[in-house]
Each structure stands twice: as structure tokens, then as C-alpha cells.
Amino acid sequence: MQRSGDALARCLARGRLIGREVRITSSDDPSLTGTTGEIVDETKNTLTLQSGSSRRIVGKPGQQFAFPLEDREVLLDGNEIAHRPEDRVKKAKVDR
């Protein structure tokens, strides 16, 4: 499992999240822990997850997210990705 401090996690945190599968591994709201789905929308402070025919809007702050990538799982703290999506993408282009 990769932590948010490594290069892959930093790249993921600055990239496009819509279309990625995600699982909430821990949350300030215990009822959200274990929630999974595909990210179908994103704002500065929320992710909209779709699982089957249901959608759920979850806050980014206070959550720990796990993103499956190839043969590993990358963990991101919701506070680290609590930015507007376009700002994260711009930052990634500047840092290259």
C-alpha cells in the first residue's frame, strides 16, 4: 500500500480523479467507512461516488481514500485533495 508521501500518490493527488474507483478507508463519519464507487463528479470539498444505480456525495476533508492502481492501492488524505479540480491539474503542469 502506498502512502500519500510518495511520488505516485502526489501525482494522483494532482491529477484527474473523475472516472477513478475509490474506497473510503476511514472517515470522521463511521457510516462512510468502506464506501466504494466510481468518482463521477468533484468539487473543491466533495466527491460524488456512483455505485450501481446509487450516487453518494461525500466530503473530502475528514476522509482517507484508497485508489486501486495496477497491483497496489494508493492512500490519499481528503484534506490533501480538498482543492478545486482545475487548480490541482494546473499545479501539476507547473511542477513538471
Q: Taking the domains of the chain in order of start, what are their residue ranges?
A: 7-84
Q: Give residue 94's pLDDT band: very low, low, confident or very high (50, 70, 90).
A: very low
Tens of pLDDT, residue by residue over 16-35, are 899 999 999 999 999 999 99
DSSP state of 17: -
- Check if CATH label 3.30.70.580 holds for domain 7-84: no
69: amino acid identity, one letter:
L
- Provide the whole-model pTM: 0.85
